[in-house]
Amino acid sequence: MNIKRAIYTGSFDPVTNGHVDIIRRARDVFGSLTVLVIPNAAKHPLFTLEERRALLEEALRGENGVEVAVADGGLLTDYMQSHGYSVIVRGLRGTQDLEHELTNAYYNQAFLPEVETVFLPARTEWTYVSSSAVREAFLYGADVSRWVPAGVMRALAGKGRR
């Protein structure tokens, strides 16, 4: 039996309860999972890469079979090849994510033909939760505690509001 090593990537700025749900479910499918925090030049993050790693580690404390890592830039497929991963896990909140994620899957497979992308649908309660919406709502004074782990709420409070 060929065991496939799986990776779940994102900017996680901040990590949401929807992310945590996908992480747990993917870990249960693959037996273990690496969560890779990646920089995104198109976004203006609220948290540094290291802060995001720490928030994920706190949110996932006690979860066996989950490792958190930070990418140093470059192509995801280069990282995967150099670290022995062959599966990318992506969460889908609905059709709003599908086209973007399919495009990424095609490019990843073009750069690393043996890579497979596995999509997990978001559970109903997390379908409309996104990091950017959480960030914006928080900055304008909304209570976002139902959408993020407790450690993220503490970290957001330390960032202040507009």
Across the 162 residues of the chain, what is the mean pLDDT of every consecutive 10-residue run?
Answer: 85 96 97 93 85 97 96 90 96 90 96 96 94 93 96 90 62
Amino acid type, 40: N
Range of the domain at 30: 6-159
pLDDT of residue 159: 82
Dmax over Cα atoms in the chain, in whole Å? 54
Residues 19, 52, 90, 135: which is the catalytic one? 19
**pLDDT for the residue numbered 95:** 85
Task: Determine which one of 11, 27, 90, 131 is catalytic.
Answer: 131
Q: Please, are residues 134 and 144 in contact by the beta-carbon 8 Å criterion?
A: yes
Across the beta sheet with 87-92, the strand order is 66-70, 33-37, 6-10, 87-92, 116-121
The verdict on residue 23 lying in a domain is yes
- The answer to whether position 1 is within a domain reads no
Q: What is the per-residue pLDDT for 112?
A: 96
Catalytic residue among 43, 100, 159, 161: 43
Domain total of the chain: 1
Q: Please check whether residue 7 is in contact with residue 117, taking contact to mean a CB–CB distance below 8 angstroms.
A: no
Total number of residues shown for the chain:
162
Query: Is 122 among the domain residues?
Result: yes
Three-class DSSP category at 23: helix
| pLDDT value of position 162 | 58
Answer yes or no: 131 catalytic: yes
Among 5, 24, 93, 123, the one annotated catalytic: 93
> What is the rounded distance in angstroms from the CA atom of residue 74 to the CA atom of residue 59?
26
Task: Flag whether 140 is in a domain.
Answer: yes
Task: Find all residues with CB under 8 Å of 51, minimum gap 6, and list them.
Answer: 155
Beta bridge partners of 92: 121
User: What CATH number does the domain containing 28 carry?
Assistant: 3.40.50.620
- State the Cα–Cα distance between residues 15 and 79, nearest whole angstrom: 21
